[in-house]
Structure 1
């Protein structure tokens, strides 16, 4: 069937409306005369919509006379009709030709260069070296010599161990792999374990360092929980001096989170129906040519516009632009909820806000839900309070 539809589009076909006392006889006689009909649809009493190839229309006129039926062409589809439309609008045809030739011409140049894998060197540094080897925006693709570019980049940037230059259409991707360097950790990696949030300490497990808080202590963000500077004395009577270490451990604490949600018993607004429509416009200079039908089938809609412009070459900017206008249909809605339904909706909103705050590794100990009384009876307010037990320690170097 796809092949049949494709061939029909190439040679042209029409959608006709058949009317008469006996449209079935029209169909049977047409088929008997070797006319190919498809997508036959009844749209009312003694009325049919039928698709037929353009070459068979003359035969159908004879069939209509014999069966006392009439038919009208509702829509013309296919390459022949598209050609006639373009022929009538020569400026649009010229614009399309210019557009295609412009694309072909500009596709032979490099317009975009992307650098990947670089960490130590900036993209600007890599692109600067690549430009010296002949890789830059606006250069002809056939003038590029990827192997030479790769060699120059490796010679000028010694921390890069491998380079790959790949041409993908009008884009060139420079892939780099840098040598692995072992970074010296700050101050021999001395660190404290500090609190990353407010809570009440429940358990402390010290792996390295010295605990400076106890169970049931209330701590705040940034407060030291396990110190990386435990004091040691050299001998009896001598003053204690700090011994710097990388503190490690687990500090479990009770932490509280809350979320708020609300819902109206009556809601009004607009929402998407799921239906869309698209308009395509070819702009040449100051003239706009519509490629498809211009009507907007919606009374309420949201409009989204995207533009595709040919990249400029040196000081020349091609005066060709493709504009796509997409329309999303909107409809008004009004919903009425029971008080219990509104509570459930507000509770879901509140829980969604709480859930975003709670870490995955945290364990929920207790959860409380509270309905907040207010002046507006048509508005339901819900607050959720959640208590968790979690590790609040965070290693911080010094």
Structure 2
């Protein structure tokens, strides 16, 4: 049935109205003559509506006279009539085609850049740096090397710990994590509090000096006072001390990485060029110098003399390579993506932090790109010292628990 309907659509069909007192006889005759009629619907006792092919409609005339019925075309449908309609409106068709082509062309470019870096990041400076590296509004998406831009951005911006670039449609979403500056070490004679430098849930507290205002299991926000350097006791004067201690907390970090399932690698062809160089100070002499006409090559350097020798004999070998495409398996791609995601977010927490839990989610961005979203839970010291401001009124909030 579906094939027949598709055939009639391609060759055209008509919606017809049949009127008369012998409609049933008319339909029986038509069907017996192998004239296909479908979607028959009775409107009233003397009228029905049906669909018929254009060829079949031309064959109805003899049977209408035989049964004294009248047949009218209500509507013509199908590809031939659509084409005929469009031919009469060529400018409309050309305009629609032009719109589709322009929409496709514009979708190949990046038209906006969204910066997600928190309050401590200057969006203007990030956009300016990305512009220098080739990521800007109006650039062709295929010309953007995300991996290269991320690497060069981290080299140029010393205060940035991690950057992630994700292109969605015509928008580039840039996420930036700023490096956490090491806390200033306060003199032991300077009264201070210990405050939270990150959000988290307290896992363990070791307070050597000062009054703990939080306890294990409490949820804290960045800036909360964890250990107070203001000591107040009944019937004694208030003392100001240099708070000391370790506040371990559970902190969560989220990151992602994309991996292309088709990796480009370089394979040696077997051709090579070897040269020997004699070096003394800043002077270098090449024996039997040869031209390296390889488009791609690996270079291996081997020192034939001891490191203490004033004269160095160096053997250089250039191996020709050619690019080849390697298809990663799903397991290989997932492993590589997770490792890259962990590497991206590892700079956000200290080297002494301990990962205690990890959640992974894999998504195919397109046919060849796999994305790993990783959430890690770490135990790390979130306490940092902060001077007590004597000029401000200090209010100590103690837990009722």
TM over 0.5: no
- TM-score, normalization: structure 2? 0.43
Who wins on radius of gyration, i.e. which is larger?
2
